[in-house]
Amino acid sequence: MDAEEFRKHGHEAVEAIVAYMENINDRPVRSQVAPNYLRQSVPKHAPKEPEDFDQVMKDFNSDIMPGITHWHSGKFCAYYPTAFSYPSMLGEMYMAMLGVNASTWAASPAATELEYITMDWVAKLIGLSDAFLNTGKGGGVIQNSASDATLLVMAAARTRILDHLSTQETIDPHVAATKLVAYSSDQTHSSCQKAAKILGLRFRALPTRDDCILRGDVVRQAMREDIAQGLIPCYITVTIGTTSTGAVDDITSIVEACKDTQVWVHVDAAYAGSAMVCPEFRHFMKGVDQVDSFDFNMHKWLLIHFDCSCLFVKDRGLLVRISTGAPDARATTNPTPSTTLSDTPDLRPQSLEVGGTESGESTTTTTRVESLTDFGPSTNRRFRALRLWFTIRSYGQSGLQNFIRNHINLMRYFQTFLAADGRFEVLTPVHFSLIGLRLNPELCQRVDLGMGGVPDKSNPELRNNAANARLHGMINEAGVFLTKSDLHGKTFIRVSIGAF
């Protein structure tokens, strides 16, 4: 494709994008295709010869579009939202135009510097304390996802505790590495357990009651039990806005339970963190000043396209210390199982080792700009901050706040219908733009369960679950996309508002 062809198809693309967004509600929100549908139409081998781009676009419309679920449709109230905005879309285009890799400072100074600056903007917009700003010891960097952020801080937590234990001389750090425990609640996103599995840490999901809130007394008790068993508490995820019901853990009491320990407290606010741009929701942040790290996804609910998970830590130095974990090849030359990525240049690609200014070290001043490459497993990364800069400037603080408040007001409006209707019960308090609801139990007994029937008539809870599952299926067939979930054995329907 040459520049002229690009101009033609580029103009068509912008028109197609605007037409798509303007007419999105006319489409069925859920894809209607059957599994493996694409194998029928897309050839098994890549084309040998170049193809005409008009033909590619024709196939895009006939083959790809039918397999799309329309996340930005007004009929999409499933999962949690994913973000869209026109300035962020333009940011994507210019990011593609520049096509730089943001690794070290010299690899593209603006890409590195803008990320630190815009992450400080974001920290201030959501009311984080100065301890999380890049101007001090702490700071924020963009991660691919909240799951990646959890993995990274859990690795940093492991390094911190092993470093600490190596100074105690009461336990061999290699033995200690096998005894570390990561905690979460039974409502925490599954990525926490996944991170523990990847890192080889023991994992314990602590029970919550009907309100889905994890509290300090449960954490303290669990840590005591584990210490008595010879285990070593190391890390905990605390959630603002759990995936299933949007519950908020009791951060203050959990921080208190972890005080005077080496346990790393991480706040996962993947969804609800965006609401913190509005001061009226900041009471949910109580205790965040005391934690080690905080992450939320602007790519969920704050107008920036995936991927934009904003991770803030109190101690940037620890973040770059990626632990090697249990003894491995390097452990033979390294007396403890932990290592610091940034001070082991032998482990780093040659291309990054080309002199002082590569890392932003100034020859004339004492200024230094740290390499983004040290803040996660990826050596290179996209110029993701450009989308933040475009979007935050285009909306301003007031525009971001209005965006969130609009969704929350829509949820309140929806609740007035529910209250007037009287056929539903709401499971947990509604803090943001997610609600979990069920049909009233007496109505459940009267619902026609259709072909599936109910497995055990003597168990009313099973019948209630089947009735709610049936209702959920009927709503989705009617053309709105909702997801269902399970809370302590109760099936319920989630309604999540957040589409652009």
- Strands 202-206, 180-185: pairing is parallel
Helix (H) or strand (E) holding 236: strand 232-239
Residue 185 sits in the site that holds ligand PLP (CB under 6 A): no
Residues 7-66 that bind ligand PLP (CB under 6 A): none
CB of 128 to ligand PLP, least distance (A): 18
Closer CB to ligand PLP, 80 or 84, in the complex: 80
Closer CB to ligand PLP, 105 or 183, in the complex: 183
Q: Which residues pair with 340 in a beta bridge?
A: none
Of the candidates 69, 476, 88, 127, the one whose C-alpha atom is nearest the C-alpha of residue 287 is 127
Closer CB to ligand PLP, 106 or 435, in the complex: 435
Closer CB to ligand PLP, 298 or 439, in the complex: 298
Report how far residue 236's alpha carbon sits from residue 290's, in angstroms, rounded to the nearest whole number. 13
Which of 309, 323, 391, 428: binder of ligand PLP (CB under 6 A)? 309
Stretch that binds ligand PLP, among 237-245, 278-286, 409-417, 441-449 (CB under 6 A): 237-245
Residues 253-282 that bind ligand PLP (CB under 6 A): 268, 270-271
CB of 391 to ligand PLP, least distance (A): 18
Closer CB to ligand PLP, 104 or 239, in the complex: 239
Closer CB to ligand PLP, 154 or 444, in the complex: 154
CB of 100 to ligand PLP, least distance (A): 24
Q: Is the dihedral of CA 348, 354, 355, 361 positive or negative?
A: negative
Residue 145 sits in the site that holds ligand PLP (CB under 6 A): yes
Q: What is the DSSP string of 156-181?
A: HHHHHHHHHHHHH-SS-HHHHTTSEE
CB of 291 to ligand PLP, least distance (A): 15
- H helix intervals, 248-384: 251-258, 298-301, 316-319
Residue 153 sits in the site that holds ligand PLP (CB under 6 A): no
Residue 239 sits in the site that holds ligand PLP (CB under 6 A): yes
Distance, CA of 365 to chain centre:
38
CB of 189 to ligand PLP, least distance (A): 3
CB of 496 to ligand PLP, least distance (A): 10
Report how far residue 233's alpha carbon sits from residue 246's, in angstroms, rounded to the nearest whole number. 26
Size of the site for ligand PLP (CB under 6 A): 15
Report how far residue 279's alpha carbon sits from residue 175's, in angstroms, rounded to the nearest whole number. 46
Which of 191, 208, 324, 336: binder of ligand PLP (CB under 6 A)? 191
DSSP letter at 211? T
- Residue 268 CA: distances (Å) to CA of 123, 262, 298, 308, 372: 15, 19, 13, 14, 22
Helix (H) or strand (E) holding 412: helix 385-421
Closer CB to ligand PLP, 132 or 271, in the complex: 271
Count of C-beta atoms within a 10 Å radius of residue 62: 10
Reading across the β-sheet that carries 202-206, which strands appear in turn?
139-143, 309-313, 293-297, 264-268, 232-239, 180-185, 202-206
Residue 244 sits in the site that holds ligand PLP (CB under 6 A): no
For 20, residues 6+ apart whose C-beta sits below 8 A from its C-beta are none
Which of 108, 134, 208, 297: binder of ligand PLP (CB under 6 A)? 297
- Residue 81 CA: distances (Å) to CA of 70, 97, 268, 274, 438: 11, 27, 16, 12, 21
Residues 433-492 that bind ligand PLP (CB under 6 A): none
Closer CB to ligand PLP, 243 or 324, in the complex: 243
Closer CB to ligand PLP, 85 or 187, in the complex: 187
CB of 371 to ligand PLP, least distance (A): 23
CB of 243 to ligand PLP, least distance (A): 4
Residue 370 sits in the site that holds ligand PLP (CB under 6 A): no
Which of 103, 118, 147, 428: binder of ligand PLP (CB under 6 A)? 147
Packed helices 216-228 and 251-258: angle between N→C axes, nearest 10 degrees: 30
- Residue 44 CA: distances (Å) to CA of 39, 293, 307: 8, 45, 30
Closer CB to ligand PLP, 143 or 324, in the complex: 143
Residue type, 284: F
Residues 381-440 that bind ligand PLP (CB under 6 A): none
CB of 7 to ligand PLP, least distance (A): 35
Closer CB to ligand PLP, 185 or 297, in the complex: 297
Closer CB to ligand PLP, 80 or 284, in the complex: 80
Residue 189 sits in the site that holds ligand PLP (CB under 6 A): yes
Residue with tokens 């009313």: 460
Report how far residue 384's alpha carbon sits from residue 283's, in angstroms, rounded to the nearest whole number. 30
Which of 71, 76, 77, 80: binder of ligand PLP (CB under 6 A)? 80
Specify the 3-state DSSP secondary structure of 14.
helix
Residues that bind ligand PLP (CB under 6 A): 80, 145-147, 189, 191, 239, 241-243, 268, 270-271, 297, 309
